[in-house]
Structure 1
Amino acid sequence: MLELEVVTPYRQVLHTQVESVIVPATDGYLGIMKNHAPLVCGLAIGVLHYGPAHGPKRRLALSGGFLEVTNNKVTVLADTAELAEEIDVLRAMEARRRAEQRLRSRAANIDYVRAELALKRAMARLQAAGVEDDKQQEHPLPSSAIEH
């Protein structure tokens, strides 16, 4: 088993025992299981999956941060993190709509990078809540990539 802890600057979001964790690293999804090598890496906006090694996983939305793996403990230091059941789906849908509208706008004063990040955060929240299709929902990595 792995000890998983997810913290933000404001609170401890999660502290539990799991068999596997799949995180949105800056270079793509990364799977972590028992006895993983020590690791520190950056996290991207996306959905963190956790739970049993096989079968349905629980999810939470991340908006970036850092990951540390040492001695079967996975620590996520996130800018923001929301458990699936905490997500206000209507608010996330409205945020997605606003971000998409800004990205379609031809106004000169639109900050497209900021709008794109807002869209990614909204999509991650909706995917974590199970509203949007997360093509990598159950198995973001092929089984061979996470089994030792």
Structure 2
Amino acid sequence: MTLEILTPERKLYSGEVYGVQLPGIDGLFEILDKHAPLVSALKKGNLKVIVDKTTSSNYSIQGGFVEVLNNKATVLVEGAVEA
């Protein structure tokens, strides 16, 4: 699955990943390869990028939205820093 994490200022991440864990407004959820189309609001919290089964990275986000379509997840956030 392809993942892009975008802020108004720059692109934070772009690449192939195993999955991504996101802080949804109703709780934490995870998106994996070949996920069904989805649009969801995100709240302030920790976003975890799962590159493979042994490698991951974390970002602290300020809230925003995620869109999943055609095996690509696009995360649009107001602000984010790598944790």
- Do the two structures share a fold, i.e. TM-score over 0.5? yes
Instruction: Find the residue that maps to 1:35 and give its secondary structure.
Output: coil
Map 1:11-22 onto structure 2 (within 5 A).
Answer: 11-22=10-21
Q: TM-score, normalised by structure 2?
A: 0.92
How many residues matched? 83
Q: Which runs of 5+ in 2 are unaligned?
A: none
Please give the alpha-carbon distance, in whole angstroms, between the structure 2 residues aligned to 1:30 and 1:53.
Answer: 17
Instruction: Note the C-alpha offset of 1:17.
Output: 0.9
Residues 20, 48 of structure 2: 8 Å contact kept: yes
The one of the two structures with greater contact order (alpha-carbon pairs below 8 A, sep at least 6) is: 2
* Corresponding residue for residue 126 of structure 1: none
| Runs of 4 or more consecutive aligned structure 1 residues displaced over 6 Å after TM superposition | none
More helix by share: 1
Unaligned runs of 5+ in 1: 85-148
| Structure 1 segment 79-90 matched on structure 2, within 5 A | 79-84=78-83
Residue matched to 2:3: 4
Identity %, equivalent residues: 39
Q: Normalised by the size of structure 1, how large is the TM-score?
A: 0.53
Please list, as runs of the form range in 1=range in 2, the aligned pairs for 1:1-148 lying within 5 A after superposition: 2-52=1-51, 54-84=53-83
Root-mean-square deviation (Å): 1.2
